[in-house]
Amino acid sequence: METRYFGKPLKRNEDHRLLTGKALFVDDVTLPGMLHVAFKRSDFAHGRILEIDVQAALERPGVVAVYTAEDLGDYHQPGPLLLPAPPIEGAVFHPRMQVPLAKDKVRHVGEPIAVVVARSRYIAEDAAEEIFVDIEPLDAVVDLEGALDPDTPKIHDDLESNLAAHVVQSKGDFDSVVDKAHRVVRRRFFYDHGIAAAMENRGIVASWDARDQQLEIWDTTQAPIAIRNGLAGMLGLAESQVRVVAPFIGGGFGPKIMMFYPEEVLLPWISMRLGWPVKWIEDRAENFVATTHERAQIHEAALAVDENGKILGVEDTFIHDAGAYNPYGLTVPINSQCTLLGPYDVPNYRSEFTVVYTNKTLVTPYRGAGRQHGVFVMERLLDLAAKELGLDVVEIRRRNFLPPDAFPHDHGLIYQDFSSLVYDSGNYEPALDKAVKLIDFAGFESGSSEIEPHKRRGIGIVCYVEGTGIGPYEGAKVTVEPSGTVSVVTGVGTQGQGHFTSFAQVVGEQIGVDPTKIRVVTGDTRLFHWGAGTFASRGAVVAGNACHAAALDVRKKILKMAGELLEAPEEDLELVDGKAQVKGVPAKAIELGELASLANPMRGAVEPGTEPGLEATTYFGPKHGSTASGVHAMEVEVDLETYDVKILRYVVVHDCGTVINPLILEGQIQGGVAQGIGNAFYEQILYGDDGQLLNGSFMDYLLPTSMDVPNVVGDHVETPSPLNPLGIKGAGEAGAIPVGALFAQAVEHALRDEGLEILEIPLSPNRLFELLHDREGIASTEESGS
Amino acid sequence: MDTMTREHPSSQQPEQGTSSRQIPITVTVNGQKRHGVVEPRLLLSDFLRHDLGLTGTHVGCEHGVCGACTVLMDGDSVRSCLVLAVQAHERELVTVEGLASGDTLHPLQQALRESHGLQCGFCTPGILMSMVPFLEENPNPTEEEIRIALSGNLCRCTGYQKIVEGVALAAEMMAEGSSPEDVGGAES
């Protein structure tokens, strides 16, 4: 019998290296003669550069070079623009891209102005301190809503205003249902999303070898192939002259797929210019201002329902903060716009967003990538409507789910991948039922909120969908070597998702090899140079299916050869323990390694058209993304003396289609929940009116610790995706997306005697205190349709 | 804004800075005597990683919050980004590279693999070096005690639950003195 590896909770292949300190991270790369780089960055959010004097820096012993924008010549180019305007009728998009080094003007604190190359990082930082930059400060644009005021300074002088984009998408006709509605719930929502704060900061090592005309780069990127291709173009090299390696990456979560960071553009150029390897490793203070953020959106939204709580329509108008530049296009606000619809049947929808430039660090996707903003708005609207109608929060959701026979469901909107927003499959009610049971929702409802005099308990439950696994494609190369070792190479980078194990399981399943004997390499463009990267919960879906397809091709080659050698029909063969054998006759078998040797003859003739070796390179591209879904529930205790919120129980019931490795999946969900909790109650990037980041350290920007994140109880529903052979949907972001909405609902429920409405995230003990003691702070209006 | 470049240093001598003051130090790392000549300001984390090549110790924040750079100094957990290399003179250090004996992983290393207590693995060396002395002091900890001890180490991937489970499992394994199931893998 062929052994099953797929779907098993196998321990990870990569752990041994990571646990013994032997895994290679970018900062571990050391090359002979390597020089070190530090940046002089802007202390001002907005200003004109009047003068830069690098002389003192250049004179410091140990300094090799100092460069400003002037020195870059034609290499000083903005961009590139990663994603153009989406194909949405009437969409307005004014992209302005970051430059390698600021010239004339600075537009956010932390923007690089000059770069120092020295013998050590210590010297480089000393010298960077000595660079004199005279900046004439301009008023900073910080407030989202004020960004478009006519008297607000312009961030990009060539634009008419700070408007970066304006997009309207709709289906049905919302206006037509307002008058018919039993109720229209209308509120203003504020949702602020924090920063990724991966434990490893960014870093780059670049090494130009003039003798063999090769550029090697180690980069903490989620998209090594795109970095290679882009840099080759900028530097005038053939793509094959550039090798980008994304080795072990200490957490990505989105910002490490932003490209191109100024440092990414500069380090290779410096290495080519000086002829020496150069290294730059971001420090945490830089990470807060120079690595991209996610931040706030302000929504004005309305939900129209009939007397049974059925959704008639939703209208949402929101404003999105792009930061100082917008190379990543409109991915984040489009995600917000599309994900708002959730698992619900929304016949009429109008969504309009405005993107504005501000004097802050750039906004690009961070785990969830705008989806949580949309989920927050929808879930809060449903909670408010339920309250008005006297329905419970579970019931109003149940009544509005898209039924299992509604799929594929085309919303008639354009999603972030520029294809139609089509839900491939879904079955939402079983997940809700499971979550209700696991959290004992009914049992709790009957109880009182008051447990101790100063403590209040509440419960919450929310639903969401997540568009995952978008195209265009990924590829994989599977090779059986003569030693019997199997190698799998794919283009996506890995940042802790367990690719070395789950891809090995996918391949092992098809060719009968134990996954511990399969060597997976990701993120080295010399070994595989086709693909897009790791983002949008797509690694397992797209690269996983590419591995599957390549393994199937190798399986076919194995069966054909083994059938001939063993003189047995292919259908009588099985692949077990690294051998091809006649079913049930272990004596009639041949090792895969031996087959691989025979497939690469040194003498003699082969049939025309024969490919050598047991190897296949195969690609997979889905028609469009697959839609995962889930339900989160939790019970909280709010302390009315400290305003701390303690999570007593947390439940996740998740549907990501077929599961490759349940252990890894659990880890992804739990980790996502932890980031969601950070987003909901601990983390918020704070800017002063002058555009200074006020809490740029881990002392001030709080990440949740082991004391703050509860144990998560999980369960699954499996609704396979019809869009890929393995039936997989993505899971990477699912844990993080609905937590803000859940937090608001559960805390509001705990404080139900206070009649508080929570229309914003993140909360914090301080903010909760303010909300309870300063009700003026809550902006809300209500209207009744009938 | 005119800039220029100078000659690349032809010498490959280690040089951390411009301070003329260089101090010879001797430390014992993972049982081996190691020598270095360092500037007074050189961080122990940089000395370990760049001068001694022990890159298993990771640097996540350089202000003593994340705990990724934790090593043992005379048996106690310290943040090597908050210690100067010169302060480690004549001290005994253990880094993550010193935990396993040969091919046999420390029970805590084994247990974290069993429990899936790591994802990207960047914070893991610091977590190991914080939890090893904790388990020595408290061989039979409750979940709450583990969570308190772990609260000085940030992990952005796991949500901590599986690390807590791994530390509890390690305590069990160490109490029984048993070797858990084969921890081998493609790379062991």
Q: Find the residue in A nearest to B119 (Cα).
A: A496
Report CB contact under 8 Å: A666, B186. no
* pLDDT value at residue A781: 39
Helix (H) or strand (E) holding A51: strand A47-53
Report CB contact under 8 Å: A64, B9. yes
Q: Which residues of A touch B95 (CB under 8 A)?
A: 21
* pLDDT value at residue B176: 87
Question: Distance, in angstroms, between B48 CA and closest chain A CA?
Answer: 12
Q: Is residue A516 part of a domain?
A: yes
Q: How many domains does chain A have?
A: 3
Does residue A456 share a domain with residue A521? no
φ/ψ of B47, rounded to 5, equals -60, -45
Q: Find the residue in B nearest to A33 (Cα).
A: B12
Q: Which residues of B touch A22 (CB under 8 A)?
A: 56, 97
Tens of pLDDT, residue by residue, chain B (188 residues): 335 555 565 444 444 445 568 999 999 999 999 999 999 999 999 999 999 999 999 999 999 999 999 999 999 999 999 999 999 999 999 999 999 998 899 999 999 999 999 999 999 999 999 999 999 999 999 999 999 999 999 999 999 999 999 999 999 999 987 554 443 344 43
Q: Find the residue in B nearest to A26 (Cα).
A: B55
Report CB contact under 8 Å: B150, A496. no
Q: Which residues of A touch B112 (CB under 8 A)?
A: 15, 19
Report CB contact under 8 Å: B66, A698. yes
Q: Is residue A179 part of a domain?
A: no
Does residue A392 share a domain with residue A304? yes
Does residue A438 share a domain with residue A325? yes
* pLDDT value at residue A237: 98
Q: A620, A638, A668 — which closes off a domain?
A: A620
Does residue A386 share a domain with residue A250? no
Question: Distance, in angstroms, between B76 CA and closest chain A CA?
Answer: 19
Does residue A487 share a domain with residue A433? no
Report CB contact under 8 Å: B159, A51. no
- For the record, the structure tokens of A702 come out as 């709080």
Question: Distance, in angstroms, between A88 CA and closest chain B CA?
Answer: 36
Torsion of CA A331, A337, A339, A345, to 10 degrees: -150
Q: Which residues of A touch B147 (CB under 8 A)?
A: 706-707
Domain ranges for chain B: 23-98, 107-176
Q: Is residue A148 part of a domain?
A: no
Does residue A511 share a domain with residue A410? no
- What pTM was estimated for this model as a whole? 0.94
Cis-peptide into A408, omega within 30 deg: yes
Report CB contact under 8 Å: A66, B3. yes
Does residue A529 share a domain with residue A660? no
Architecture label for domain B23-98: Roll (3.10)
- For the record, the structure tokens of A785 come out as 């349709």
CATH of the domain at A272: 3.90.1170.50
Name the residue facing A496 among B120, B147, B162 (closest C-beta): B120
Helix (H) or strand (E) holding B75: none
Could you list the residue range(s) of the whole structural domain that residue A60 is in?
A: 31-138+196-290
Residue in B2, B3, B55 to test binding to A, most A beta-carbons within 10 Å:
B3
**Quick one: B144 exposed, middle or buried, by C-beta within 10 A (0-12, 13-18, 19+)?**
exposed
Q: Is residue A577 part of a domain?
A: yes
* pLDDT value at residue A248: 97
Q: With a cut of 50, say whether residue A777 has pLDDT above it.
A: no
What's the CA gap between A307 and A314, in Å, rounded?
16
Report CB contact under 8 Å: A58, B6. yes
Does residue A480 share a domain with residue A453? no
Does residue A638 share a domain with residue A589? no
Does residue A500 share a domain with residue A364? no
Q: Find the residue in B nearest to A704 (Cα).
A: B154
Q: Is residue A145 part of a domain?
A: no
Query: DSSP characters for A715-782?
Result: EE-----TTSTT-B---TTTTTTTHHHHHHHHHHHHTGGGT----EE---HHHHHHHHH-GGG--B--
Q: A255, A290, A325 — which closes off a domain?
A: A290
Work out how many CB contacts closer than 8 A connect A with B: 248
Report CB contact under 8 Å: A52, B147. no
Q: Find the residue in B nearest to A104 (Cα).
A: B1
Q: Is residue A400 part of a domain?
A: yes
Q: Find the residue in A nearest to B98 (Cα).
A: A20
Q: Find the residue in B nearest to A497 (Cα).
A: B119
Helix locations, chain B, DSSP H: 44-46, 107-114, 124-137, 143-150, 161-176
Architecture label for domain B107-176: Orthogonal Bundle (1.10)
pLDDT tens-place string over residues A223-261: 999 999 999 999 999 999 999 999 999 999 999 999 999
* pLDDT value at residue A782: 40
- For the record, the structure tokens of B152 come out as 């000085």
Report CB contact under 8 Å: B3, A709. no
Torsion of CA A600, A603, A604, A609, to 10 degrees: 40
Nearest to A666 by CA among A621, A707, A711: A711
Q: Is residue A9 part of a domain?
A: no
Does residue A89 share a domain with residue A46? yes
* pLDDT value at residue A447: 62
Cis-peptide into A153, omega within 30 deg: no
pLDDT tens-place string over residues A358-368: 999 999 999 99
Instruction: Write down the ipTM of this complex.
Output: 0.95
Question: Distance, in angstroms, between B129 CA and closest chain A CA?
Answer: 11
Q: Is residue A180 part of a domain?
A: no
**Quick one: B89 exposed, middle or buried, by C-beta within 10 A (0-12, 13-18, 19+)?**
middle
pLDDT tens-place string over residues A415-466: 988 889 999 999 999 999 999 999 999 888 656 666 788 999 999 999 999 9
Question: Distance, in angstroms, between B90 CA and closest chain A CA?
Answer: 24
Question: Distance, in angstroms, between A355 CA and closest chain B CA?
Answer: 29
Between A446 and A474, residue with greater pLDDT: A474
Torsion of CA A466, A469, A471, A477, to 10 degrees: 170
Report CB contact under 8 Å: A500, B125. no
Q: Which residues of A touch B123 (CB under 8 A)?
A: 199, 250
Q: A604, A620, A636 — which closes off a domain?
A: A620
Does residue A734 share a domain with residue A701? yes
* pLDDT value at residue A453: 85
The string over A18-56, giving b where at least 16 C-beta atoms fall within 10 Å of a residue's C-beta and e elsewhere, is bbbbbbebbbbbebeebbbbbbbbbebbbbebeebbbee
What's the CA gap between A129 and A109, in Å, rounded?
16
Residue range A733-749: mean pLDDT, rounded: 96
Nearest to A217 by CA among A157, A280, A124: A280
**Quick one: A695 exposed, middle or buried, by C-beta within 10 A (0-12, 13-18, 19+)?**
middle
Name the residue facing B122 among A30, A32, A200 (closest C-beta): A200
pLDDT tens-place string over residues A586-600: 899 999 999 999 999
Name the residue facing A20 among B15, B18, B97 (closest C-beta): B97
Name the residue facing B186 among A67, A117, A519 (closest C-beta): A519
* pLDDT value at residue A607: 77
Name the residue facing A21 among B9, B96, B188 (closest C-beta): B96
CATH of the domain at A537: 3.30.365.10
